[in-house]
Structure 1
Amino acid sequence: MTTASSATTSHDGSAGLGALLRAALPSIPVVGSLPGVRKASADGFGGLSYDRPPVTVDGEHVHAYAEVCGFPHKDTVPLTYPHMLAFGLHMAIMTDPAFPAPAIGTVHLENSVTRYRQISIGDTLQVSASVSPSRPHAKGRVFDFTTAITDGDGTPVWESTSSYLRRGTGDSDAPAGLEIPTTPSNGVVWKLPADLGRRYAAVSGDHNPIHLYPVTAKALGFPRQIAHGMWSLARCVAALENRLPEAVTVDVAFKKPILLPGKVAFGSERYDDGYLFSLTDPRSSAPHLVGRAAAH
């Protein structure tokens, strides 16, 4: 993979409604072609890097996240929680005029998370995020966003790679991506409420309109609002976390949007030194998400 640009921009880490507006503007006809809004060409894009000032893990925010994602309340943070500390940096990168793809309409394909050690409430962390030049995919181009989190001594404690597809001219010879088998349901079905996307948005800062209301989702081509991909990953991890080691890697591929309100079936099974897991449609068994977790 090509390394992202060495220049790093500092950002406060916020991801409010202003960021959402900046994300939407490049997708609006006429407005998207204006100076300062128009996206740069993908040709010659060398990557972007952002970081934020040191951040102390806030217990109230951790507990609010745990509540909406199904984790128990602990003095340590859920495995997927550190993504909350980096999401504002991801949005800053996507809304940077140098980033060649609009944020709205970019599809979350895959995610890989590695925890090196537990992170405690009250820990002070360094958070950075970067994106490399795109790579080919059968349906367009993929941008890999890498997040690195270290402690005060600079020791890595958590990292992730979030892969996003921008649809376009594809390459039939491109790698297929994660190949993880679908795990049959264990008979566990979760009923998801209509306001789940709004509840997760309030905690995460991800107010993408496809997750909020039927009318906003329909405007972007969905029959009604859909669950956040990172919520579905977190909910699966919450069902497994007490069986996972401290140092662990979780990989997921997002297959089919989860419409809200709706139902999903959870399945998991032992595999080598870890677990395979999935979320499927309870009626058709079509996969929404497939994943695996293993000791790092």
Structure 2
Amino acid sequence: MTTKSFDKAPSTLPLMLRAALPAVPGVGSLPGVKHTSRDVPDLVLERGGVVTDPEHLQRYLEVCGFGHADAVPATYPHMSAFALHLALMTDTSFPFAPMGLVHLRNRITQHRPVTPDDVLDVSVRADDLRPHPKGRLIDLLTTVTAGGDVVWEEVTTLFSRGSGSGAETSAAPLEGVDAPSGVVHWRLGGDLGRRYGAVSGDRNPIHLHPLTAKAFGFPRNIAHGMWTKARCLAALQNRLPDAHVVDVEFKKPILLPSTVVFGYETDGDAIRFGVKAQKKSATHLVGRVTSL
């Protein structure tokens, strides 16, 4: 296993440009651009000594709807991992071109609350390249430690569309789980993708403007999946245990601007939640919180 270490977060803008190159006619087949591997890359990316910038944290809380708390939101450590995710996906040893991937599922395991004073070490690798009826799946695994102890983990499941390679080798975490109905309406502005992208560094063109989204087949720009997950956890902020697992599956993209409906139900120690369209009741996200 090859390990690549970073003293600071890689700059996401050059990585975004590199991510787009495989889609450019005549460029995508060039050496150093084309993704030729068909296996999980033998590569670990890591960054040590990550500290929380209070100003950045405040901007994140505001754009995602969190109130003040002693610990950072369960979704916030994803901010320190995103640039490493992008660096891994743009490496030509990664089996898929990044711009064609769909963020299908996300699981966060918070072993204990992460505080703004924690000094974190972040590690990212890929795993479990597997079949899907409409293509293939691969996971990005993120591990965050503080003082040598694992405090936070994430599984980011990515879908690459193509000829179906068979049924999934194991059941999806939320298979058979439906999003509950709700009454809380969120009115999302057309600039949401730009505002969240400025905080997260995820400036994928599909999130920024209608014109750039149309170039990738969307009628309008769409909300970030990780913003939607964060906004749901903000709505549940006072109900979350200190140690928990949050699974979500992203169903239908949220076109911006739009109004969506949030709902949740409790089932023992678990909380089931979801986001639906206001008019057609199409499900955008379904999720579940379980205690550790």
TM-score (norm 1): 0.94
Name the CA shift for 1:46/1:91 in 2 (closer, same or farther; >3 Å): closer
Look up the equivalent residue of 1:248 and give its one-letter code: H
Once the two structures are superposed, residues 179-238 of structure 1 have per-residue CA deviations (whole angstroms, 9 ceiling, x without a partner) of 152233321110000000000000000000000000000000000000000000000011
Name the CA shift for 1:180/1:80 in 2 (closer, same or farther; >3 Å): farther
Once the two structures are superposed, residues 126-172 of structure 1 have per-residue CA deviations (whole angstroms, 9 ceiling, x without a partner) of 001110251111111111001000002x1011001000001112134
CA contact (8 A) 1:59 1:122 kept: no
Q: 1:216 aligns with which of 212, 215, 218?
A: 212
CA distance in 1 between counterparts of 2:179 and 2:77 reads: 27
Q: Partner residue of 2:198?
A: 202
CA contact (8 A) 1:150 1:156 kept: yes
Look up the equivalent residue of 1:285 and give its one-letter code: S
Name the CA shift for 1:282/1:252 in 2 (closer, same or farther; >3 Å): same
Deviating more after overlay: 183-192 vs 276-285: 183-192
Q: 1:129 aligns with which of 118, 124, 128?
A: 124
CA contact (8 A) 1:49 1:128 kept: yes
CA distance in 2 between counterparts of 1:55 and 1:68 reads: 22
Look up the equivalent residue of 2:182 and give its one-letter code: N
Look up the equivalent residue of 2:57 and give its one-letter code: V
1:232 equivalent to 2:216? Answer no
CA contact (8 A) 2:110 2:244 kept: yes
1:171 equivalent to 2:165? Answer yes
Look up the equivalent residue of 2:113 and give its one-letter code: Q
Deviating more after overlay: 71-80 vs 195-204: 71-80
Superposed displacement of residue 97, structure 1: 1.2
Name the CA shift for 1:98/1:29 in 2 (closer, same or farther; >3 Å): same
Superposed displacement of residue 16, structure 1: 2.2
Specify every segment of 5 or more residues in structure 2 that has no aligned partner in the other structure, as ranges. none
Q: 1:160 aligns with which of 138, 141, 154?
A: 154
- SS of 1:107 mapped into structure 2: strand
Q: Partner residue of 1:55?
A: 50
Q: Partner residue of 1:278?
A: 274
Deviating more after overlay: 58-67 vs 255-264: 58-67
Once the two structures are superposed, residues 20-39 of structure 1 have per-residue CA deviations (whole angstroms, 9 ceiling, x without a partner) of 00111012111011111111
Superposed displacement of residue 176, structure 1: 5.2
CA contact (8 A) 2:272 2:287 kept: yes
- SS of 2:238 mapped into structure 1: helix
Superposed displacement of residue 269, structure 1: 0.3
Once the two structures are superposed, residues 254-289 of structure 1 have per-residue CA deviations (whole angstroms, 9 ceiling, x without a partner) of 000000000110010001312000000111111000
Specify every segment of 5 or more residues in structure 1 that has no aligned partner in the other structure, as ranges. 1-5
Q: Partner residue of 1:97?
A: 92
Q: Partner residue of 1:255?
A: 251
Deviating more after overlay: 279-288 vs 70-79: 70-79
Once the two structures are superposed, residues 46-99 of structure 1 have per-residue CA deviations (whole angstroms, 9 ceiling, x without a partner) of 443110131111211111101000001233211110000100110010011111
CA distance in 2 between counterparts of 1:45 and 1:116 reads: 27
- SS of 2:84 mapped into structure 1: helix
CA distance in 2 between counterparts of 1:15 and 1:102 reads: 19
CA distance in 2 between counterparts of 1:279 and 1:127 reads: 30
- SS of 1:26 mapped into structure 2: helix
CA distance in 2 between counterparts of 1:182 and 1:279 reads: 10
**Large movers: runs of 4+ above 6 Å:** none
- SS of 1:32 mapped into structure 2: coil
Q: Partner residue of 1:3?
A: none
Look up the equivalent residue of 1:112 and give its one-letter code: R
CA contact (8 A) 1:79 1:241 kept: no
Tell me how many residue pairs correspond in the alignment. Answer: 289
Identity of aligned residues (%): 52
- SS of 1:171 mapped into structure 2: coil
Q: Partner residue of 2:10?
A: 14
CA contact (8 A) 1:180 1:291 kept: no
Name the CA shift for 1:215/1:81 in 2 (closer, same or farther; >3 Å): same
CA distance in 1 between counterparts of 2:166 and 2:28 reads: 30
Look up the equivalent residue of 2:254 and give its one-letter code: I
